Amino acid sequence: MIHGLDKLTSSAGVYIFKGKENKILYIGKASNLKNRVSSYFQPSTQLSPRIAEMVNQVAGITLKETAGEIPALILESQLIKKHLPPFNTKIKDDKSSYFIVIDYNYEFPRVKLSRTVNNSSQKAFGPYPETNLIWSLKTIRRAFGWADCGSAKIARFKKLNRPCLYGDVNLCPAPCINKISAKDYKKNLVLLEKFLAGKYLTLIKQLKKQMIQASSEQDYERALLYRDQLTRLERVLNAKTSLVDNSPILDEDLLAQEALESLSKTLKKAGVDLPKDWSAERIEAYDISNLQGDQAVGSMVVFTQGIANKSEYRRFRIRGIKGPNDAAMIAQVVTRRLNRWPHIKPNLLLIDGGKPQLKAVKEAMAKVNIFYPLVSLAKREELLIIPIKKGYNIIKLPGDSSALRLLQQVRDQSHYFALSYHRLLRSKTI
């Protein structure tokens, strides 16, 4: 039995084949270590003579798990360069190896693939022993972004006052129309260098620090830019929490606070009568799930300081209402909640629905002489509907609004919580 063959996992990562006396024979990467490594030792697998020779010498396997395929590619390159395994040079054709080169010989340095490194103004990472690196580089570009236009193109787009296609789709930060300064552009490439060097933890900590600093200076636009870059980086890494010492990659508390401030401004602007010191410290959201009135249930979810508080989620079975009547059902759920826990005071009630549901809940609160700020978020068009003194105020929030994203998250939680309970009851009945 080959040592380490029984420890294979389905994670992405790097595998190291070792021979006698722990000598490294070959280093490879895989998106699924179990599938890839096992394939070498299947009787049905057709191996070339060189690979068959290597497999016959394998006495042990060392695995290094990574967060995703691209980190595995970077780690594979670093280890091959360090150990120079004999079968890597035989199996891999040198002509298929590439460097990722950052060329600082331009006002806005470029990033490209090259088989050679020509001068001292170029910083190279690799070589990477695969030609499909083009796909990987496109994925990395989504997180960092860089320009690849020549001086003539830059001049033309400056004159037109619009970016090229790459600028439109956020693969380039568009320095040609001054969306980013030359100084900040080069700072971004320093972050890219850390990524290509495999310093993911350092990179994540630096971006989080910059985001928190921007927020403390009330520069929320810049804080959101860092937040978005962290999100894109997380996607590129296919990140696991173990990458950052089991702490979330994004500063959840900070981003939630920004969303709450945005929500407060939105509600006050819309005419909601809020206390001077109002904050959405506790948001409660309600939804109904039923099939033509059958097995009807309701849900209540709670967000505290903009973060889901699942220990306070509650579900309700609807009583005494026949047929589909979402407005009456949601009024019943809210009434039962207010009677059961009158001492717990929400700062905002969010209803999944439109005017009929809002009207029913408003009347339910009036019957028990309790009033809390109340809004609804209608699906499809995502319209925010707010009862005011005379009728309703209907608002279409921008798609990038942090207030909208928060309300959507809370509303969707209430929807899924109700739906899961409804499905449970139906399955029991069946």
Distances (CA, A) of 103 to 181, 196, 284: 18, 14, 53
Beta bridge partners of 405: none
**Structural contact between residues 217 and 211, judged by C-beta atoms closer than 8 angstroms:** no
* Paired tokens of 303: 């967000």
CATH class, domain 282-429, is alpha beta
**322: Cα within 13 Å, side-chain hemisphere:** 0
| Residue matched to tokens 């009583």 | 319
pLDDT number for residue 364: 93
**Structural contact between residues 90 and 25, judged by C-beta atoms closer than 8 angstroms:** no
CA gap 369, 352 in Å, rounded: 23
**Single-letter residue type at 87:** F
Distance of CA 378 to the CA centre of its chain: 25
CA gap 315, 323 in Å, rounded: 20
The 10 Å Cβ neighbour count of residue 291 is: 11
What would the CATH number be for the domain defined by 5-92?
3.40.1440.10
Q: Where are the domains of the chain?
A: 5-92, 93-186, 282-429
Report the b/e string of 316-348 with b at 16+ CB within 10 A: bebeebeeebbbbbbbbbbbbbbeeeeeeebbb
CA gap 176, 153 in Å, rounded: 9
In 3D space, the residue among 394, 327, 330, 334 whose CA is nearest the CA of residue 356 turns out to be: 327
For residue 397, the SS3 value is coil
Mean pLDDT by 10 residues, the chain (430 residues): 76 90 90 87 77 89 86 88 81 63 86 79 79 71 83 74 75 83 86 88 85 83 81 70 33 61 85 76 91 81 85 91 90 95 91 92 92 87 85 84 86 88 74
* Paired tokens of 132: 């499909």
CA gap 330, 355 in Å, rounded: 12
**Single-letter residue type at 94:** D
| Residue matched to tokens 């042990």 | 60
**Structural contact between residues 237 and 207, judged by C-beta atoms closer than 8 angstroms:** no
pLDDT number for residue 134: 66
Q: How far apart are the first and last CA of the chain?
A: 50
pLDDT number for residue 374: 93
CA gap 248, 252 in Å, rounded: 7
**Structural contact between residues 318 and 324, judged by C-beta atoms closer than 8 angstroms:** no
**Structural contact between residues 173 and 147, judged by C-beta atoms closer than 8 angstroms:** yes
